[in-house]
Amino acid sequence: MSFIKKLFGKKEEEVETSSNYLIATLNERIGPLDRGEIYEDPLDEFLKSKNLGEITGGGTMQFKSGELEYCDIEIELLPNQINPNTIQEIITRLEELGAPKGSKLTVEKTNEKIPFGKKEGLAIYLDGVNLDQEVYQSCDSNIVVSEVKKLTNDNSELVRFWEGQEETAIYFYSDTSFSEMKNSITNFVNEYPLCKGARIEKIA
């Protein structure tokens, strides 16, 4: 809270003439529909129930390859609601909804960026072109999803993935650290044929 209070130590006249918008940048590789269901709708309900404001928009950023990179949620607060307590409530709610580490909340009136997020993220990139055809025919990416979710303690029902021309990425988020997640799936990745040559990267 001390960090947030410092950000809001502005002159009163600056607060009165500033924008009431916040931008929540979520370090999560999630599409627009899922972003709405998991984050925007519950957060909008939360804001309205407390008479704080509402969600006014959102967007998704992609890498040049087309793979998802992160997403934004635009929040408009009611007049006089931009204060440390409100900011902390919003951050707490986003973390309850699953916001990963590396996320940030931008306060437009000060252009200050407040880091938040608790979950860590792991991506596994499956080779989609170089394995034997028998492997693609006999193996199932759904098995990769279910096993890795179980091993990494990713308890979400959502399957986050991206299909490129040469590889398929599957994303997992957990309260467990990335190093623990990676170690927990080592045996499975080494043994399951579809995971041969797979890349594993930290994404949060």
Return the SS3 of 9: coil
pTM of the model: 0.88
d(CA 82, CA 98): 23
User: Is the separation of the CB atoms in 45 and 71 below 8 Å?
Assistant: no
| Residue ranges per structural domain of the chain | 2-116, 120-202
- Please identify which residue in the block is written with the tokens 């040559």: 197
Hey, how many other C-beta atoms are within 10 angstroms of the C-beta on 18?
Answer: 14
| Assigned architecture for domain 2-116 | 2-Layer Sandwich (3.30)
How far apart, in whole angstroms, are the C-alpha atoms of residue 165 and residue 154?
26
User: Is the distance from CB of 24 to CB of 71 less than 8 angstroms?
Assistant: no
Predicted confidence at residue 80, as pLDDT, reads 79
Q: What is the mean pLDDT of the chain?
A: 91
Region 136-142: what's the mean pLDDT? 97
User: Looking at domain 120-202, does it have CATH number 3.40.190.10?
Assistant: no
- Residue 120: its pLDDT value, please? 98
pLDDT of residue 10: 43
Residues with Cβ within 8 Å of 81's Cβ and at least 6 positions away in sequence, in order, are: 20, 52, 53
Q: Which helix (H) or strand (E) holds 134?
A: helix 133-138
Across the range 189-195, mean pLDDT stands at 98
pLDDT band at 1 (very low <50, low <70, confident <90, very high): very low
What whole-number distance in Å separates Cα of residue 116 and Cα of residue 114? Answer: 7
Per-residue confidence (pLDDT) for residue 122, from 0 to 100: 98
Please tell me if the domain spanning 2-116 has the same topology as the one spanning 120-202. Answer: yes
Q: Are 99 and 121 in contact (CB under 8 A)?
A: no
% residues pLDDT > 70 (the chain): 91
- Residue 119: φ, ψ to 5°: -75, 150
